[in-house]
A and B are shown apart, each in its own frame.
Chain A
Amino acid sequence: MKKLTLIAAAAAFSASAVAAQDVVRMGTEGAYPPFNFINDDNELEGFEIDLGNEMCERAGLTCEWVINDWDTIIPNLVAGNYDTIIAGMSITEARSEIISFTQNYKEPDPSRYAALIGTGDDVIDSGVIATQSNTVQAGFVAESDADLIEFPTPDETIAAVRAGEADAVLADGDFLRPIVEESSDLEFIGEPMHIGGGVGMGLRQSDNELRETFDAVITEMKEDGSLNELLIQWFGEDTPTF
């Protein structure tokens, strides 16, 4: 009997040893600066990359980044191609039915409209608005009186406004701000709007253990102020902090 428990204990130990070495695969889009993007050296960079690496280090996990299209980012998580989504994803009810979220690591950021200079505010209600598909903004425009035109990547929504295909683009203010500030042809129109909840990390609903691990790390980073440092580093002094 004693021998049997010993074997069981050894088996349990080796199982947990293997689990500790598991690689957690982090899924991201890599096309959403400054949240996550591929820099010119072909490496991932951005707020979420810094945050993800820090979280993994604190949790003692080995993490590996995976780039996946935005449109299929949830199905591929569910299919097990990677273990987390960390891609500027707003926590919404509809998404929570399919995947689960950690607590938010970024406060809700107001969405903004951007248009060519001189467009005027009336296109918000009557014009053609470009958004990235499967985003909270796409859902918002679909409900409004304006016509919706969707694109698979955020970059294409801006290009559509410049090409005159759309009258304005609706996206996260944090994504639009550097673009509007650096270009001579775009400006913000209308008022900032709160559409989505905060941004959190998505996981499979069955992965409770991993979610609790990351939740604990986010709480820790909120408390010691390191999360605020990262937020200010990537989004500027005015960004809402915890």
Chain B
Amino acid sequence: MNTFLWLVKREFWEHRGGFLRAPVITAAIFLLLNLMGIVTGEVMGRQMGFQLGIGSNNLHLLTRDLDQQSMEAVGAGLDLVMYSSTMIISIVLGFVVFFYCLGALYDDRRDRSILFWKSLPVSDTATVLSKVFSATVVAPLIAVVVGALTGIVMLLMFAITLSLHGVSVWHLLSLSHPLRVITNLVGSIPLYVLWALPTVGWLMLCSAWARSKPFLWAVALPVGVGIVIGWFNLLGTLNISNDWYWRGVVARILGSVFPGGWFSEVSGIGGDNPAQVLSTLSVMHSYSAMGSMNLWIGVAAAAAMLAGAIWFRRWRDDS
């Protein structure tokens, strides 16, 4: 177990840029843009002679007189603000994990440092699994922590701005649910692991197998097959559903590292107001994706592809 921990640390050292710096930089840019937005709002507001809070006490009154339902809506809106930063970071995370997996078992063969790693008493299985763990647990965990912190900072930024206008936003803020947001985000990591596995497995298989240009193989192969299927369909000689192939295979082996894909397997998403929508997106609800065949077929396929990756890792040398 100790070896595994150090293997994961090794991955983190090598990919600090993608795992840590990428989400932090994204968060910083996100916060900066929001700050610029707030400043713009302030300046424009002043130029237009519109004084929030002081000029009219509407907002103030509003916060006092919110009925139950609107309070929920405001709380949900604030929660959305917190989610929004994580959503942006999630997209970055998707790209980071995609390219990480693609290089994980290829880069060290290319620069021959595999000869060093293989001179240590570490099994190929442990090596590959440590990389899977880094991609599906370490990277998303860091992204979620950074995302949640960014969300909280953003909430405070809005609160401070509003309080400059005499609005008691601390009351407003107390309507939001930071803990629930964080629980939902952290709680979806296990779901992410299961959902992302087929993509991670496919990319790592290509990464372990390709003698050169793993990206081309990983992308061109499934896309090429899809085009051939489409062509046969046009000719009417083959009866494989195009749509099924693109959504059930290509999207799963290339796109599932982007978080949230599992919502396609969750029924009853939506609602009349933001609070309801959010609650259908909550972690408790989204775990109903665990009941879908799509998810488990993906996991089974991933197990096979990772076994293949381990096998290639064993026998592909640098020559």
Are A and B interaction partners? no
Binding site for B on A (CB under 8 A): none
